[in-house]
Chain A
Amino acid sequence: EPEVTQTPSHQVTQMGQEVILRCVPISNHLYFYWYRQILGQKVEFLVSFYNNEISEKSEIFDDQFSVERPDGSNFTLKIRSTKLEDSAMYFCASIPNPNYGYTFGSGTRLTVV
């Protein structure tokens, strides 16, 4: 069964450093998402991406965050200057169209120290 692949599975970074979280969505999917889950809290929407541009972003997704789909397969989330409160699990997801359930990757655990 097709999978959404995320790398790395765990990233530790110093506060203020830039991190790039990588995702390879399912190849024929058209809608891409990033969600995050702070330990013990709800899964929160960050951003959606369609037709090579952001279609929606949450209040969390401020100027420190950016997303790119640099080629036909990768979908990246960049955090420019990490803060302690950015520590969370970050999940990538994709769907072929809005009538489907999401396929999530297994997540990247980001720890900012």
Chain B
Amino acid sequence: SQQGEEDPQALSIQEGENATMNCSYKTSINNLQWYRQNSGRGLVHLILIRSNEREKHSGRLRVTLDTSKKSSSLLITASRAADTASYFCATVLMMEYGNKLVFGAGTILRVKS
């Protein structure tokens, strides 16, 4: 089945450092999305990258997509304590009407101040 699987499972860094999270998936995609989830809260959409794009930026976030390797990475530069959260990649499975997201298990990021 089509799934995003992130690594590492957990990442602990110092404030100011960069954090890189990777995601691999199994089948062709229309687009891939990254979400953040603070503990016990809802999912917040961070960035969407289409299958014909290789890199996308949004503020301190940089996402890359390599469709030949079926992988994506999320880079958070100059991390802050407030970036502490779980980060999920989600591959988009197209349906007859609309689409659905298939989430990976996530990376738990802890930024120490």
Answer whether A and B are interacting partners.
yes
Residues of A near any B CB (own CB < 8 A): 31, 33, 35, 41-45, 48, 50-51, 55-56, 89, 91, 93, 95, 98-107, 109
A58 to B94, CA, bound (A): 14
Contact B97 A55 (CB under 8 A): yes
Cβ of A107: which chain B residues have Cβ within 8 Å of it? 41-42
Number of A-B contacts (CB under 8 A): 67
Contact A48 B44 (CB under 8 A): no
- Interface residue count for B (Cβ, 8 Å)? 29
User: Pick the contact of A102 from B94, B97, B101 — CB < 8 Å?
Assistant: B101
Given the known interface contacts A42-B103, A43-B103, A48-B95, the answer about A102 and B41 at a Cβ–Cβ threshold of 8 Å is no
A103 to B33, CA, bound (A): 12
Contact A55 B98 (CB under 8 A): yes
Contact B98 A50 (CB under 8 A): yes
- Judged by a CB distance under 8 angstroms, whether B105 is at the interface is yes
A87 to B102, CA, bound (A): 20
Residues of B near any A CB (own CB < 8 A): 30-31, 33, 35, 40-48, 88, 90, 92, 94-106
Main SS of the interface on chain A? strand
Cβ of B104: which chain A residues have Cβ within 8 Å of it? 42
User: Pick the contact of B45 from A33, A45, A51, A101 — CB < 8 Å?
Assistant: A101
Given the known interface contacts A42-B103, A42-B104, A100-B48, the answer about A56 and B95 at a Cβ–Cβ threshold of 8 Å is yes
Contact B45 A98 (CB under 8 A): no
Q: Which residue of A lies closest to B96 (CB)?
A: A55
Cβ of B96: which chain A residues have Cβ within 8 Å of it? 55-56
Cβ of B88: which chain A residues have Cβ within 8 Å of it? 43
Contact B98 A106 (CB under 8 A): no
